[in-house]
Structure 1
Amino acid sequence: MSTPHPLRIGNFSGFYGDRASALREMLTGGELDVLTGDYLAELTMLILARDRLKDPCAGYARTFPRQLEDCLGLAHERGVKVVTNAGGLDPAGLAAAIRELADRLGIPVTVAHVEGGDLTAAHPGTLAAHAYLGGFGIAACLQAGADIVVTGRVTDAALVTGPAAAHFGWRPEEYDRLAGAVVAGHVLECGTQATGGNYAFFREGDVRRPGFPLAEIHADGSSVITKHPGTGGFVDVGTVTAQLLYETGGARYAGPDVTARLDTVRLSPDGADRVRIEGVRGEAPPPDLKVGLNRLGGFRNEVVFVLTGLDIEAKAALVREQLGDALAKSRPDDVRWELVRTDRGDADTEETASALLRLVVRDADERVVGRALGGAAVELALASYPGFHVLSPPEKASPYGVFEDVYVPHGAVDHVAVLSDGRHVSVASPQETRPLDDVPEPPLPEPLPPGPTRRAPLGLVVGARSGDKGGNANVGVWARSDEAWRWLAHELTVERFRLLVPESRDLPVTRHPLPNLRAVNFVVEGILGAGVAARHRFDPQAKALGEWLRSRHLDIPEMLL
């Protein structure tokens, strides 16, 4: 029996709100077998849950049907399957909407969907509670002939492992192959972040309009990451490394189908805009499934005072004192002041002479938040520091969400593929599981010999990519040469990280070395509070935490500079 041809699988969406034209660009840019669209993040599930409170039919990503209306005929003509998690909280509803669209356009496509991860009823008080499902429900839909597969909350990588398992006929216990597809899926899932978007060394290519990525996946689980010819951006070992480190933790990258060992990943150039991924090993998945819980955390409001010119610290102190009585009377649960020194001396514009003083209040009671910031801040307009003004007046208190993880056994979820003819196909739980034990720290390279150093920004010699997982943040830092890795592996310890990122000093910080990637990955627990929806921090998703780290100065060997 001949080996199936490599599967060419692309991405056209990395989040809810991504480039609307990407579906057409990918369909017309070159040959593909499958296109995947990732719409779901922790915050997106909360947005959809709040939408559903207003409209019971609003539980899926409304932008996807609009994209598909323009491109459904083209996808059918080219024989490209489309797999997306745009179903959000209502995959059955989105599948029905797509069938109606196809009937209206007269395009004969079959639509299937995956369901079973909705555990909201089992978690009272939540707006949405969904298990992260794996890829075998998607595989069952495709093997039954579906042209379009809609899911809800599956893992991001499942959008790739499902089509790969269907195409190659992989069995659930073929862990190395599945792990290879998971790694490829993790690179693709955020769209143009794999082709130069949000990349530390963005000046090395033209990233004004990066093309979306695709992977050529082989039967053994190895893959090549690339993009359509002539599209913007670039693909090299650095862009792939950056995305591999994004929102990950240690060497074991767990999922519902397989645990991929990130410490076994090997990357190598494979020509222009081509990077080969091979050597990935896999293990049985953990015994429990992750469930994301979204609930209403309370209400928040904020006001940003603009402080211009001289005496910035004194002006900030005056405002804090003037609002002290109002805050003491209303007593909100959480009051946060933050002075952002964007000002500089002898500035030639008013904006660059100004600093920002941000006040955020939170409370479970909407009225408390309203009293805390309602009239009190506005009443200072003629009675406070010279040059008083705010970016915008306080508005009504707005609700904010809280995200947390819980875990349930695989058997607690009914993972089902619903085929186009209405048949339900149950997806079996894994026959084998393995607890997520820590991986022993790998051997590190020999340190660089002593030599002259120069005080300089860390980012001159390393890249970084950071992101969020609930209330935690990760910062992956990688070197681009063996010599820089020898220095980085010994220099950027947990202690050094805490000195460079003072916010982390009183928080648990774990370092995970990944020598094959010449990288260290830091996980900082609790730095984002209750998650992105709570907007606990100036950068609530830690998107720029890595860039801040790269801007910090330390003594760097001159041979690396």
Structure 2
Amino acid sequence: MGTRSLRIANVSGYLGDRYTAVDEVMAGDPVDVLMGDYLAEITLAALAAGARRGKPGYVGYALDQLGPHLPEIARRGLRVVTNAGGFDPAGMAAELRRRIAAAGVTLRVAHVTGDGVLDRLAGFHADGHGLEHLDTGAPLKDWGVEPIAANAYLGGFGIAAALAAGADIVVTGRVTDASLTAGPAAWWHGLTPDDHDALAGAVTAGHVIECGAHATGGNFSGFRDVPGMLRPGFPIAEIAADGSSVITKHGADGGAVTVDTVTAQLLYEIQGPRYLNPDVTVHLDTVRLTQQGPDRVAIGPVTGSPPPPTAKVAVFAPIGYEISTMLFCTAPDVEAKVALLRSQLADRLAGHVDQLEITPLGVAADDPADQWAATVPIRVIATARDPEPLRRFAPAVGSLYLQGFPGFHHDGHAPRATEPWPRIEYWPALLEATLLDEHVVLDDGTRIDPPRPTRTAGPEELAQPVHPEPPLPEPDGDPVQLGRFVHARAGDKGGNANVGIWVKDPAHWDWLRATLGTERVATLLPEAGGAIVRHEFPHLGAVHLVLVGLLGSGGSANLRVDQIGKSVGEYLRAKHVPGPR
């Protein structure tokens, strides 16, 4: 601990991120803490399904990533914080201790628990806690399926308490992604639950680096101007005592840290200007970004206020099975060919499947230069409550080779799906935070209860601000592709998709505001269907959109090809609109 800024390096942004991340960061610039984020709503669903089949409830390969570096971690005095504990942080902590002993080094491991509430759901219901769905308002008892996992999103003070007690490695279950950074910052700078502004800054820095290379050029609409995109590096946050921070990266690594790459992550997967976390409510509309130097973006002090009195709870349950395949058809007459496929499969699978969706992807060229320019992929997916009816799917598809549309084929080098796999649905809810039994378990079994907020916010403090439609004349310039003037990034928040769009040139801010009014967005994105919630971030030159219900019941269960809405921002950038004068 010290008065200087804490340097915390991300080593994972999701379950499946680059395996060599820990190797690269250990070979990179000096840092104080390694932070690995492995969980998301859709990956929690995958872990839950795996645990039902007897697999570990934690992320096993995170252990393999850390293993070779345990002696050097001990020698440098580094701290490691990770949510790779998934559904079994105690089990992962125990396995870490075994590997540490085998390596002959001394490192103390603690775990944070209390997020798992599956075995308490019946008690919550009996006590009048309905765990109503955040989007529909329906009580959990009316879901009609049996949950297999229920985890509350914890804050960072359990992590801070573990580090303060001497832990070198802290394993958690479901904490918020930003808590993996805010916790070490609270420990390093001695923050309390009442230090709202400093905590807001730490959460903001954590939100920027939680998704790894997202902050250094990955998944960035301006990727063509980012050097080293072959292997963009992992970000570092330097967090000062007042919560201000600098986002940077390891000097030798690829990618770049710019105001735009940081803006992209700031606008990713948020509810609006009020960013609700277990430790603090962050006022993202107070964020200011400054390019301090090459690969260094400063985030000024951020305003915070008390956190909500409730914790978000992610509940998962199996709702049936699915199976899918990819077919191809070649122009001409693509529309008629898809229609024939749809009617033939509906005939053969009638009464056996609950849902059958056939989605052509793309449009064939009018005068194709080669066969592939004339070819349109078709994704076919079917669902049922039980697996047995779906075993008819592969034979039904296979029966069409000699009786379907002309040119019917699939990728002959890809294995055909014959066995269905489980569908896991997500139920987001709120629960009074005081009902959670969050605590830290040290390596000697000692239990520590982290401090709780002394004050929580009321509904009026948590409500998102209302930004009326801009009183500006609609643009009337020549039609242009929107992406010529803006960047965008899209993500998922349960069944909703969110899209942040911001101008490349601040001079175009008024044009963007007028261009992306709610009515025009509804026209540009007809598949959005439901409500569109619109906010403005003038200091970022950004419009933020929440497309309510676009992702159905969430990424783990909806049948969209773009399952968690990652391409919605790029789709919007491809649209043509009246350009700026």
Question: What's the TM-score once normalised by structure 1's chain length?
Answer: 0.95
One of 220, 242, 251 as aligned partner of 2:242: 220
Task: Supply the AA of the counterpart residue of 1:40.
Answer: L
**Native 8 Å contact 2:481 2:576 kept in 1:** yes
Residue 60 of structure 1 pairs with residue 63 of structure 2: no
**Native 8 Å contact 1:187 1:243 kept in 2:** yes
Deviation at 1:444, TM superposition (A): 9.0
Structure-2 change in CA distance of 1:327 and 1:47 (3 Å): same
One of 295, 313, 316 as aligned partner of 2:338: 316
One of 256, 275, 280 as aligned partner of 2:278: 256
Structure-2 change in CA distance of 1:529 and 1:170 (3 Å): same
Alignment deviations for residues 435-489 of structure 1 (CA, whole Å, 9 cap, x no partner): 3543434699885897x72211101101000001111110001113322111111
Deviation at 1:367, TM superposition (A): 2.4
Tell me, in whole angstroms, the C-alpha distance in 2 between the residues paired with 1:357 and 1:7: 50
Tell me, in whole angstroms, the C-alpha distance in 2 between the residues paired with 1:268 and 1:442: 25
Residue 105 of structure 1 pairs with residue 103 of structure 2: yes
Structure-2 change in CA distance of 1:354 and 1:421 (3 Å): same
2:192 counterpart residue number: 171
Deviation at 1:508, TM superposition (A): 1.2
1:464 counterpart residue number: 488
Alignment deviations for residues 293-325 of structure 1 (CA, whole Å, 9 cap, x no partner): 111121112233311132212222222232332
The alignment partner of 1:164 has SS state of: helix
2:503 counterpart residue number: 479
Task: Supply the AA of the counterpart residue of 2:61.
Answer: T
**Native 8 Å contact 1:293 1:403 kept in 2:** yes
Equivalent pairs counted in the alignment come to: 552
User: Which deviates the most, 190-199 or 333-342?
Assistant: 333-342
Task: Supply the AA of the counterpart residue of 1:42.
Answer: E
**Native 8 Å contact 1:442 1:515 kept in 2:** no
Structure-2 change in CA distance of 1:445 and 1:533 (3 Å): closer
Task: Supply the AA of the counterpart residue of 1:83.
Answer: V
Residue 32 of structure 1 pairs with residue 31 of structure 2: yes
Q: Note the 1:325-344 alignment, pairs <5 A.
A: 325-330=347-352, 332-344=353-365
Structure-2 change in CA distance of 1:19 and 1:553 (3 Å): same
Q: Note the 1:441-452 alignment, pairs <5 A.
A: 441=466, 447=472
1:386 counterpart residue number: 406
Q: Note the 1:399-414 alignment, pairs <5 A.
A: 399-414=422-437
1:494 counterpart residue number: 518
Tell me, in whole angstroms, the C-alpha distance in 2 between the residues paired with 1:198 and 1:51: 28
Deviation at 1:369, TM superposition (A): 2.7
Unaligned runs of 5+ in 1: none
Tell me, in whole angstroms, the C-alpha distance in 2 between the residues paired with 1:25 and 1:192: 13
Q: Note the 1:27-176 alignment, pairs <5 A.
A: 27-55=26-54, 58-123=56-121, 125-176=146-197
Residue 306 of structure 1 pairs with residue 296 of structure 2: no
**Native 8 Å contact 1:455 1:553 kept in 2:** yes
One of 471, 490, 514 as aligned partner of 2:537: 514
Unaligned runs of 5+ in 2: 123-145
1:243 counterpart residue number: 265
1:345 counterpart residue number: 366
Alignment deviations for residues 74-119 of structure 1 (CA, whole Å, 9 cap, x no partner): 2112221111001001111111111111100001111111011101
Alignment deviations for residues 130-149 of structure 1 (CA, whole Å, 9 cap, x no partner): 00000000000100111111
**Native 8 Å contact 2:474 2:514 kept in 1:** no
Tell me, in whole angstroms, the C-alpha distance in 2 between the residues paired with 1:219 and 1:54: 45
**Native 8 Å contact 2:93 2:111 kept in 1:** yes
User: Which deviates the most, 229-238 or 180-189?
Assistant: 229-238
Question: What's the TM-score once normalised by structure 2's chain length?
Answer: 0.91
Structure-2 change in CA distance of 1:394 and 1:272 (3 Å): closer
Would you identify which runs of 4 or more consecutive aligned residues in structure 1 move more than 4 Å? 442-450
Tell me, in whole angstroms, the C-alpha distance in 1 between the residues paired with 2:464 and 2:147: 34
C-alpha RMSD over aligned residues: 1.9
Tell me, in whole angstroms, the C-alpha distance in 2 between the residues paired with 1:406 and 1:388: 45
Task: Supply the AA of the counterpart residue of 1:509.
Answer: I
Tell me, in whole angstroms, the C-alpha distance in 1 between the residues paired with 2:354 and 2:320: 10
